[in-house]
Structure 1
Amino acid sequence: MIHTNEIKIVLVDDHKLLRDGLRNIIEQKSNMKVIGEASNGREAVKICSKLMPDVVLIDISMPDLNGVEATSQILKINSEIKVIALSMHSTKQFIQGMFNSGAYGYLLKDGDSEELITAITTVVQNKKHLSKDINQEYLNLLNYGSTLEKSKLSSREKEVLQLIAEGNSSKQIGEILFLSSKTIDVHRNNIMKKIDLHTIPELTKFAIKQGLTSL
């Protein structure tokens, strides 16, 4: 539970207009403050490691590093940070992916400002929050691994898979992740073996289906 008077929040979404809207809602509350913003998952990880917020509101479908993988990396930095997913998707794999990564809340983007504040207040009390417009029984599914979890892809492999699906070459992926293109090729081969898919279009379809990228 957060013991300070002010709840420090970081906003992560690739649309500035949405971040501005969230900021306006949040900063009407005297006990909440937006201390940072990011436009993609990779930026979010850096900002959270520097600012150590109490709560992160994060979009799921972002280029370069999606919200699911960003959540995993943020919680490795500090497991006390409470992550709330923001999404247009109410399907099982997105909800499951975020909660499996350690998120405490899941909000639909067409929700209202009252629910946003409720979600923030709920997660800082170490309680999970699922958008009221989603079947609450979905929380019962969180004990079951998704296809992606069962595939046993490592966090790094999921990152590589997203970047492959977004059309990056091994060289480009290597530059983004500070690895050699040869290492990226090894990761790609391991991914193909683990999920038994062997072409880039197949990998791309799989990544979209699993919510790693929306393209």
Structure 2
Amino acid sequence: MTEQQPVRRERIKVGVIEDHPLYRDAVARVLAEADDIELGAVEDSVAKFAVSKQPPGSVIVLDLKLRGVADAAAVLEVNGMGHKVLVVSAHAGKNEVLGAIGAGAHGYLSKDADGEEILRAIRTIHAGNTYVSPTLASMVIDASHDRNAGPRIDLSKREREVLKLVAGGERDVDIAEDLGISVRTVRSYLDRIRDKTGERRRAGLTLIAIKEGIVPEPAVH
């Protein structure tokens, strides 16, 4: 009788984009030592990572404050490569957290998180779920409560489309291309949105997009 060989579980493919050398090396070491993780590209910018051979479908540990492409735009770009993003950032204010989630991040941790929590978040995201650390969950819950309380902002269909793209980190020129309108028209819509919401900053507009249900909020753990 032939002895059955044990089934080898496919390891989770993970990459890292982090521009602080010591922290980058520490995270890479934690990942390399995990039996169920296959560590791939480890780079200090989105531009360098973009030319790596990291296979699509990987979970990418991403810092927000990078040279070149940063913040929500960095999340959007890495998502566009076919990956799932776990933000691990020293910047964990409400604007950063909800802005990254609005741009499509599957998880968010502060750099206070230890190696075990980073691994737990990666495994959760790989399984198809989202992960926000307990220390940051309250602001996501508050955003949900704020969204469900009080009158909704009266935005037109086109204004909601523009706001959704702003929350995704798109520039005015990209929004114009996506919607087939001029940059001048995009800015006109943005002026109307700002007048209706009283919010001038793009990060603040991202929060409003989440509160209005224009972009989804994550599950919290």
Q: Does TM, normalized by the shorter one, top 0.5?
A: yes
Supply the AA of the counterpart residue of 2:52: I
Q: Give the 3-state SS of the residue equivalent to 1:133 in structure 2.
A: helix
Question: What corresponds to 1:117 in structure 2?
Answer: 119
Select between 133-142 and 64-73 the one with higher mean Cα deviation.
133-142
Q: Secondary structure at the match of 1:115?
A: helix
**TM-score, L = length of structure 2:** 0.62
User: Which amino acid is 2:81 matched to?
Assistant: I
Paired residue secondary structure (1:70): helix
For 1:135, the equivalent position in structure 2 comes to 137
Give the secondary structure class of the aligned counterpart of 1:47: coil
Distance 2:35 2:172 in 1: 39
Q: Decide whether aligned partners of structure 1 residues 159 and 6 sit closer, same or farther in structure 2, where only a CA change above 3 A counts.
A: farther
Task: Determine the structure 1 residue equivalent to 2:45.
Answer: 40
Letter of the structure 2 residue corresponding to residue 157 of structure 1: R
Q: Deviations 1:144-194 (Å, cap 9, x if unpaired)?
A: 6xxxx738548552799xxxxxxxxxxxxxxxxxxxxxxxxx97x788766
Q: Report the 3-state secondary structure (helix = DSSP H, G, I; strand = E; otherwise coil) of the residue aligned with 2:28.
A: helix
- Whether 2:152 is the aligned partner of 1:150: answer no
Q: How many residues align?
A: 173
* Letter paired with 1:125: A
**Pairing 1:22–2:27 present:** yes
| Alpha-carbon shift at residue 52 of structure 1 (Å) | 2.7
Root-mean-square deviation (CA), in Å? 3.7
Residue in 1 that maps onto 2:58: 54
Q: CA deviation at 1:135?
A: 3.2
Aligned to 1:77: 81
**Mapped contact 2:95–2:203 kept (Cα < 8 A):** no
Shift of 1:76: 2.4
Task: Tell me the alpha carbon deviations over residues 61-113 of structure 1, each in whole angstroms, 9 at most, x when there is no partner.
Answer: 112101421221222232xx221001122222111111111111101011111
Contact 1:12 1:37 (8 Å CA) reproduced: yes
- 3-state SS of the aligned residue for 1:84? strand
- 2:33 is the alignment partner of 1:31: no
The one-character-per-residue Cα deviations of 1:93-134 (angstroms, maximum 9, x if unpaired) are 111111111111101011111101110111011111002221
1:55 aligned partner, one-letter code: V
Residue identity matched to 2:114 = D
**Structure 1: gaps spanning 5 or more residues:** 161-185, 197-204
Contact 1:151 1:194 in 2 (8 A): no
* TM-score, normalisation: structure 1: 0.64
Are residues 93 and 190 of structure 1, via their aligned partners in 2, closer, same or farther at CA, if it must alter by over 3 Å? farther
For the 8 Å contact 2:94–2:139, the answer to whether it is kept is: no
